[in-house]
Amino acid sequence: MRIITVFLLLLFSLSGAALVSEEEKPNTAATEADYQQALSDYKKAADAYDIKNLGVFAYRAYKLAFELHPHDKKNIAQLALQYGRSLPINRHRMAVLEKAHELYEEAWPEGDAAHIDALVALASDYARHRYDKDSTKLFKEARKIAENIYGKNSIEVAEVYVAESQSSQKHWKGIDSYGSKAASKARKILKKIPAEISELPLAKVYFAEGKFELVHGSAEFATKSLVKSLEIQNRLAPSHPATIINHALLIEAYERLGKRHEATKHCIAIAKTSPQYDNQELLPIFKPQQVFPKNRIEPARVELAFSVDETGFVTDPAITLSEGHKDFEKVALETILRYRYIPAVRDGQRIKVHGVKQTMTWTVQR
């Protein structure tokens, strides 16, 4: 099974302190007005959760800061970090975050609180790429700085543990694992802190636990953690991409448990906050595992057309093309009825869409 989520986006050169190659520098002289406009565009994109343009504006602001204010090392370092964070998870993002970390080391004295953000961002990225020793070392360094400045039971220390629990999903292997230990330590600290500042980090812990359970454990346990996370996210930031992803994970959990109508309210919630319009290609947010027909292990292909109703259910499926044994047609029809979609929206209203298409293929590895 898989969740289709519609989120995220962008160059690195090792020349000096720059992330910009010579060829990418503008031919015309940049002005202070250009720089201020780039900063304004970036802040607006961040405030609006405009993932599509966030990386572009962050990169532009960084590049202009480097050209116009090359001695303002702190500002350049901060913009480099924001640019790195705006990128999709790949090797380029990691290279940008490594350079941002170097810039922070040049701009602030050792042990300064400013280093925490850069260390956590790079440690999280190392964890995702399975650079485990480097990740652990940087998280430890960030915790040490936070403890020295704010105290062992501070929100700043808890947030480092939260980041560890989120980025260390590959290390969650049970109650004593690295990721679950970080989550447990974060929760222990957060319970001592007033709710108004601990709620969002606590939601991130619940989310990390729910995501792990969904991938490696029990969908039933996953729903409990994800519901707790969503209750907080809906209250604080109902349209934030993280909230949408939480809805999507709950759709998968409920669909796997056969609680399809529990999933419906989350399909509708996504349609309200991140609508797909009827002129767009609808993509499934939940796809069940595709199996071979009984006693049939051979290649096949089936194309289907169907409708998606106002709550995201598939209706009226029909086969438009079939290549292979007839048994695959039956499996295809049964499988497509278990797909789940985000309802399409027209003029602010959820609508039924006809003529949606899906192809299923079965391959045999020799």
Mean pLDDT value of segment 62-83: 92
pLDDT band at 175 (very low <50, low <70, confident <90, very high): very low
Looking at residue 177, its pLDDT comes to 52
Q: Report residue 223's pLDDT band, with 50, 70 and 90 as the boundaries.
A: very high
Percentage above 70 pLDDT, the chain: 89
Distances (CA, A) of 236 to 48, 142, 240: 15, 27, 9
Tokens read off for 298: 């051979």
Supply the Cα-derived Rg of the chain in whole angstroms.
24
- Mean per-residue pLDDT, 222-228: 95
Neighbours of 23 (CB within 10 A): 6
- CATH fold for the domain made of 285-362: 3.30.1150
pLDDT tens readout for residues 300-350: 999 999 999 999 999 999 999 999 989 999 999 999 999 999 999 998 899
Edge-to-edge strand ranges of the sheet holding 300-308: 314-323, 300-308, 353-362
pLDDT at 74 over 50: yes
Sign of the alpha-carbon dihedral angle for 283, 286, 292, 294: negative
How many of the other CB atoms lie within 10 Å of CB of 215?
13
pLDDT tens for each residue of 123-170: 999 988 888 889 999 999 999 999 999 999 999 999 999 998 888 655
Domain boundaries, the chain: 1-107, 285-362
pLDDT value at residue 1: 41
* 258-295 confidence digits (pLDDT tens): 999 999 999 999 999 888 887 678 889 999 998 998 88
In this prediction, residue 178 carries a pLDDT of 53
Give phi and psi for 195, each to the nearest 5.
-60, -35
Element (H, E) at 208: helix 195-216
Contact by Cβ (8 Å): 349, 271: no
